[in-house]
Amino acid sequence: MAERSNIQPFSIVIAGSQDAVRDGIAQTMAHLASLALPQEKAGSVELVLAEALNNTIEHALATITAQTRIEIRGSYTADGLHLTIIDQGKPMPRDTPPAGHAPELDVDLQNLPEGGFGWHMIHALARSVKYVRINNTNHLSLHFDIKP
Amino acid sequence: MELTSSREPGLQIVTVQEQRIDAAVALAFKDRMREITEEGTEPVLLDLNHVQFIDSSGLGAIVASMKNLGPDRRLILAGLTTTVAKVFRLTRMDSVFGVFSTVEEALAEIRV
């Protein structure tokens, strides 16, 4: 079995705006590069990160007009890969991540949903998703079943 | 958002010349797709060979583009790379769209 390199815990800070999301993803994936993840796994991590960041921008930070920042923390332990997204936006409704029921597709083509898939994909690809609010700050923790 | 277009008999092929269809460019994709297809009447084959990544916004934009073609024009997809295929599979949208590995396979199927 190939040895997987280790990585140091890392922290990335980006502006809390849609424009900064691609850069946040790129920086995170660069930190994870030395893990030499199979492309399929790396793709899953990238997708979950994109959906979670988009959700933060669209919901938590939707009404924030002042400049704000998003922090992405990553660590890799015997327990797997952990990414945590931290922002100063609104709390998550009901203090818990949406369940992410996949939208119904058994409809006329003209009525197909164009959204509502994000949380379904996050839950499908991450081993666990946890949300806590600490001192007016949202912490969304994503855990992936990728082990050293 | 760069899309290029070519024509085969009975088909318009639109090739996405971008690596990502994500939240940053979803609206631009929809707008550009509308522009590039609005004068035609044939089915559209969307060649996604260059696209390495879509998120749910990108998927939504592709769905919107399909709806925008109207009920009489199919939108068919070809060249889905790993993560793109994953998004279509997880959301079950691969059962809604005709999906082909290559443009050649799509053309062969359509010609039958």
Domain-by-domain residue ranges, chain B? 3-111
For residue A54, pLDDT beyond 60: yes
ipTM: 0.95
Decide: B44 and B73 in contact? Cβ < 8 Å: yes
Burial class of residue A52, CB neighbours in 10 A (0-12, 13-18, 19+) = buried
Considering only CA atoms, which of A49, A56, A51 is closest in space to residue A117?
A51
For residues A4-19, give the mean pLDDT: 91
For residue B11, pLDDT beyond 80: yes
Residue bearing the bigger pLDDT, A5 or A25: A25
pLDDT tens figures, B61-95: 999 999 999 999 999 999 999 999 999 999 999 99
Q: What is the pTM of this model?
A: 0.95
Decide: A95 and A49 in contact? Cβ < 8 Å: no
Q: Taking the domain A10-144, which CATH number applies?
A: 3.30.565.10
Show Cβ contacts of residue B71 under 8 Å, excluding neighbours closer than 6 positions: A109, A110
Decide: B68 and B33 in contact? Cβ < 8 Å: yes
For residue A1, pLDDT beyond 70: no
Q: Which residues of B touch A21 (CB under 8 A)?
A: 22-24
**Cβ–Cβ of A105/B92 closer than 8 Å?**
yes
Residue of A nearest to B87 (CA): A121
**Cβ–Cβ of B55/A112 closer than 8 Å?**
no
pLDDT value of position B60: 98
Decide: A31 and A6 in contact? Cβ < 8 Å: no
**Cβ–Cβ of B63/A47 closer than 8 Å?**
no
CB atoms within 10 A of CB A113: 16
| pLDDT above 70 coverage of chain A, percent | 97
B64: contact with A, CB 8 A cutoff: yes
Residue of B nearest to A111 (CA): B67
Strands ordered across the beta sheet of A137-144? A10-15, A69-77, A80-87, A137-144, A128-134
pLDDT tens figures, B34-61: 999 999 999 999 999 999 999 999 999 9
* Domain limits, chain A: 10-144
The count of CB pairs under 8 A between chains A and B is 81
**Cβ–Cβ of A109/B56 closer than 8 Å?**
no
pLDDT value of position A42: 97
pLDDT value of position A6: 81
| CATH level 2 (architecture), domain B3-111 | 2-Layer Sandwich (3.30)
Decide: B45 and B106 in contact? Cβ < 8 Å: yes
